[in-house]
Amino acid sequence: MKKSKITGIGFHVPKQLVTNQDLTSIMDTSDEWIRTRSGIEQRRWVQGDEAASDLAIPASIKAMEMAGVNPEDIDVVVVGTISGDYFFPGVSAQLQAELGLRNIAAFDIKAACSAFVYSLSIADQFIQTGQYTTALVVGAEAQTKFINKSTEGRDIAVLFGDGAGAAVLQVSNDESGILSTHLHCQGKDLKNLWMEAPGSSGDNQINTVTIEQAKRFEPYMNGREVFKNAVVRFPEVIHEALEKNNLSMDDISLIIPHQANLRIIQSVAKRMGVEQDKFYANIQRYGNTTAASIPIALCEAVEEEKVKEGDTIILAAFGAGYTWASAAIRW
């Protein structure tokens, strides 16, 4: 079996910077309230006609440039997103066209905050089996287009930001590469973190709706239950990656978790008995960017030289579904 490695990464965020102080002018909140509950200080929001594909395209170009690949080299595109430009088709189809790629396989993965690791795993399998040699994997979100930016929706609105991150995977000819990936789902709790409509269930179709019905077209989160599950699943899936590869925490240079809430990251570190600086966090600057969270964090960790050649790192995610996932990577 062949092994895949990440040869290029890149990210892109909107220009519009929204601080906690900015939010106080549109909803009943405060900088202290937001920081205490999430650790977030600022985030980026798309504006006007800006959409997920507008973030995914420049992120992909940066990753391709770093990898030194041309459009004709890409064999498959896998995009993780729950906030695509259209209900269908996916952002992947737009990337295929806008990047000038061949008529290759391109599809989206709707696994919310775990979608980038899910997408990475799928691309890795394609390369392992020899079906493809070069894959473009993207996490892109314009989630704030769907949130209620008022006091009524503040519990959600203060958390989310927009952005995109991308990675190019190619066949590895050395010791570096993806060592293993681990994917999970527990669907019985899906209503604790979901967006009910639009959908084909019941009366969730788009038609004339009342104000009360329209609430189903916004994300809902049972924060307490999500927190309780996240602090259990993160350590589980990190340990799963360690055990699969006969590694200990001492072998790991950095853990890059999904940036959902700084309190979750701190609680996971404490539960695992690991120093906080072993977990990378940039949620302070970007908020929760859903599927884009991990690739953006990976890009910044590499830029800051917290991930260097030869390091072993773990990516870990938890999100709607519930889904959770990890990837062990030798950089």
CATH superfamily of 4-174: Thiolase/Chalcone synthase (3.40.47.10)
pLDDT tens, position by position, 20-29: 999 999 999 9
- Could you give the 3-state DSSP secondary structure of residue 226? helix
What is the pLDDT tens value at each position of the chain, 331 positions in all?
A: 899 999 999 999 999 999 999 999 999 999 999 999 999 999 999 999 999 999 999 999 999 999 999 999 999 999 999 999 999 999 999 999 999 999 999 999 999 999 999 999 999 999 999 999 999 999 999 999 999 999 999 999 999 999 999 999 999 999 999 999 999 999 999 999 999 888 888 776 666 555 566 666 789 999 999 999 999 999 999 999 999 999 999 999 999 999 999 999 999 999 999 999 999 999 999 999 999 999 999 999 999 999 999 999 999 999 999 999 999 999 9
pLDDT tens, position by position, 40-90: 999 999 999 999 999 999 999 999 999 999 999 999 999 999 999 999 999
Q: How far apart are CA 151 and CA 163, in angstroms?
A: 24
The answer to whether residues 111 and 137 touch, using CB atoms and an 8 Å cutoff, is no
- The letter for the amino acid at 55 is L
pLDDT tens, position by position, 100-128: 999 999 999 999 999 999 999 999 999 99
CATH 3.40.47.10 spans which residues of the chain? 4-174, 179-330
The predicted pLDDT at position 217 comes to 74
The answer to whether residues 88 and 103 touch, using CB atoms and an 8 Å cutoff, is no
Task: Tell me if residue 229 is catalytic.
Answer: no
Task: Tell me if residue 299 is catalytic.
Answer: no
Q: How far apart are CA 270 and CA 283, in angstroms?
A: 18
Q: Which one of the listed residues 20, 261, 288, 299 is annotated catalytic? A: 288
Task: Tell me if residue 288 is catalytic.
Answer: yes
Q: Cβ-count burial of 99 within 10 angstroms (0-12 exposed, 13-18 middle, 19+ buried)?
A: middle
- Alpha helices of the chain — where are they, by DSSP H? 20-23, 31-38, 52-67, 91-98, 115-128, 154-157, 211-214, 223-244, 262-272, 283-286, 293-303
Domain 179-330 in CATH 3.40.47.10? yes
Q: Which one of the listed residues 192, 258, 261, 282 is annotated catalytic? A: 258
